[in-house]
Structure 1
Amino acid sequence: MLNLRVIAPNRIVWNSEVREIILSTNNGQMGILPNHAPLLTALDIGVMKIRIDERWSNMALMGGFATIDNNQITILVNEAEKSSEIDPEEAQETFQKAQANLTRAEGKRKTIEAHLAFKRAKARLEAINVTQE
């Protein structure tokens, strides 16, 4: 088993044992199983998949860092939301607005800001729409 802790600036989002996680890193997705080699990695905005027994749970992570050592995983994030905390209608509406803003963005700064807002909205929507078998 792995001991997973997800810490945001204002709260501990997750603190329990899990069987496996899949992280969205800056280099792509990475699966973590027990006895993984020690690691420090940057996290991208995306969905973390968490396997508890045979069930999977999803969490939208808004960037951060993960450390893995001796079956202890500590994830420090700017913001995180469990899929159960996300309102599907609000997430869909936010995604559509972010998508529209991205297509209308002009200038480098506005485009970067719109792209980040789009990635955050997409991660939240994916966290509630992703199903695991």
Structure 2
Amino acid sequence: MSLQVCVMTPERIFWNGQSDEIILPTNTGEMGVLKNHAPIITGLDVGAMLIRTDKGWTSVAIMGGFGIVGQNRVILLVNEAESAETINADQAEEDFTNAKEKLEQAQSTKQRVEANTQFKRAKARYQVVKNLAKAS
């Protein structure tokens, strides 16, 4: 293992451990982090984060925040985080479908912004449970 990764929410330390690689959903797209990555502070988008350890890949839904990378440490301060094991797969799929429909039907700017936020959250949760199903 080469990276020390800590994922913190306002309520608790969600995940803290060693990792070989992580992939983060940033505001400008996905960003991979390996050992000796250049120091950076980045905004995190709502999406699925991937953590690779010696046990394989773990997928986590994060709901935005900030990431700090430097000296083989990654500190993620996120609004919320959920692992696949705590997400009901059927509910996640239903929420994703409903959020997609709401986004397509949104008329006003306010409706589109709210629907887009719901869609991104539902999509992140759905991606995480789909990643778990693929890994099984």
**TM-score by structure 1 length?**
0.94
> Cα deviations across residues 72-101 of structure 1 (Å, max 9, x unaligned)?
110011111112221101101111221122
Give the 5 Å matches for 1:1-133.
Answer: 1-53=2-54, 55-130=56-131, 131=134
User: How far 1:54 moved relative to its partner?
Assistant: 5.0
Runs of 4+ displaced beyond 3 Å: none
Distance 1:84 1:57 in 2: 10
> Cα deviations across residues 8-47 of structure 1 (Å, max 9, x unaligned)?
1112110111111011111111110111111100111111
Distance 1:37 1:51 in 2: 19
Extract unaligned runs of 5+ from structure 1.
none
Distance 1:41 1:78 in 2: 14
User: How far 1:103 moved relative to its partner?
Assistant: 2.1
Distance 2:55 2:17 in 1: 15
Root-mean-square deviation over aligned CA pairs: 1.2
Aligned letter for 2:50?
K
SS at match of 2:37: coil
Q: How many residues align?
A: 132
Distance 2:75 2:126 in 1: 24
Aligned letter for 2:44?
L
Distance 2:112 2:99 in 1: 11
Extract unaligned runs of 5+ from structure 2.
none
SS at match of 2:23: strand
| Identity across matched positions, percent | 44
**TM-score by structure 2 length?**
0.92
SS at match of 1:127: helix
